Amino acid sequence: MSLLDVRDLTVVFQRRGERPFTAVDKVSFSVEPGQTVGLVGESGCGKSVTSLAIMGLLPRRGNKVTGEVNFDGTDLLKLRPDDLRDRRGRDIGMIFQDPLSSLNPVVPIGIQVAEVLERHRGMDRKAALKEARELLDAVGIPDPNRRLKEYPHQISGGMRQRALIAIALACKPRLLIADEPTTALDVTIQAQILTLLKQLVDETGTALIMITHDLGVVAGLCDTVNVLYGGKVVERAARHELFARPRHPYTHGLLSSVPRLDSPRGERLHAIRGSVADNIPWGEGCAFAPRCDNVVDACLEGTPPLEPTATGGDLRCNNPVSEEVAVP
Partner 1 sequence: MTESTERTGPLVELRDVKVHFPVKSGVLFDRTVGYVYAVDGVSLSINRGETYGLVGESGCGKSTLGRGLLRLVEPTDGEIVFDGTDVRSLKGESMRKARRRMQMIFQDPLSSLDPRQSVESLLVEGLKAHGLAGDKAATAKRLRDTLAAVGLPASALSKYPHEFSGGQRQRIGIARALVLDPELIVADEPVSALDVSIQAQVLNLLEDIQNDRGLTYLIIAHDLAVVRHIADTVGVMYLGGLVEEASSDDLYREPMHPYTKALMSAVPVPDPQVEDRRERILLAGDLPSPTNPPAGCRFHTRCPWAQPTRCAEERPALREVLDGHRVACHYAEDIAAGRIRPHEVEPELVRPDDGAAPGDTGELIPTP
User: Does residue 118 belong to the site contacting partner 1 (CB under 8 A)?
Assistant: no
Q: Where are the alpha helices (DSSP H) in the chain?
A: 47-55, 81-87, 99-102, 109-121, 125-138, 144-147, 157-169, 187-204, 215-221, 239-244, 249-257
Piece of the chain touching partner 1 by CB under 8 A; list 46-54, 83-91, 146-154, 258-266: 258-266
Number of residues that bind partner 1 (CB under 8 A): 47
Q: What is the DSSP string of 149-195?
A: T--GGGS-HHHHHHHHHHHHHTT--SEEEEESTTTTS-HHHHHHHHH
Q: Is 18 in the site for partner 1 (CB under 8 A)?
A: no
Which is nearer to partner 1, 112 or 190 (by Cβ)? 190
Measure Cα distances from 160 to 89, 177, 188, 318 in Å: 18, 17, 15, 45
Taking the least distance from each CB to partner 1, the nearer of 31 and 327 is 327
- Three-class DSSP category at 64: strand
Decide if residue 100 touches partner 1 (CB under 8 A): no
C-alpha distances (whole Å) from 150 to each of 108, 116, 157, 216 are 5, 17, 14, 34
Alpha-carbon span 221 to 163, nearest angstrom = 21
Ranges within 147-186 binding partner 1 (CB under 8 A): 156, 158-159, 186
Query: Which one of 53-61, 118-126, 260-268, 292-300 is the stretch in contact with partner 1 (CB under 8 A)?
Result: 260-268
Q: Where does this chain touch partner 1 (CB under 8 A) — which range of 84-92, 108-116, 265-273, 310-318?
A: 265-273
Stretch that binds partner 1, among 12-20, 107-115, 119-127, 189-197 (CB under 8 A): 189-197
> In angstroms, what is the minimal distance from the CB of 325 to partner 1?
16
Residue span binding partner 1 (CB under 8 A) among the ranges 18-26, 91-99, 110-118, 235-243: 235-243
> Going by C-beta distance under 8 Å and a sequence separation of 6 or more, which residues neighbour residue 83?
none
Distance between CA atoms of residues 74 and 204, nearest Å: 23
Q: Does 37 bind partner 1 (CB under 8 A)?
A: no
Decide: 51 and 39 in contact? Cβ < 8 Å. Answer: yes
Find the shortest distance in angstroms from Cβ 277 to partner 1.
5
Is residue 262 a contact residue for partner 1 (CB under 8 A)?
Answer: yes
Per-residue x/- track, 266-305, partner 1 (CB under 8 A): --xxxxxx-xxx----------------------------
145 binds partner 1 (CB under 8 A): no
Among 78, 149, 172, 240, binds partner 1 (CB under 8 A): 240
Is 216 a residue that touches partner 1 (CB under 8 A)? yes
Instruction: Quote the CA–CA distance of 319 and 152 in Å, as a whole number.
Output: 50
Residue 290 in contact with residue 279, Cβ under 8 Å?
yes
**Residue (11 or 218) nearer to partner 1, CB:** 218
Q: Does 243 bind partner 1 (CB under 8 A)?
A: yes
Instruction: Please say whether the beta carbons of 128 and 118 come within 8 A.
Output: yes
Residues engaged in binding partner 1 (CB under 8 A): 42-43, 142, 156, 158-159, 186-192, 194-195, 198, 213-220, 239-240, 243-244, 253-255, 257-262, 265, 268-273, 275-277
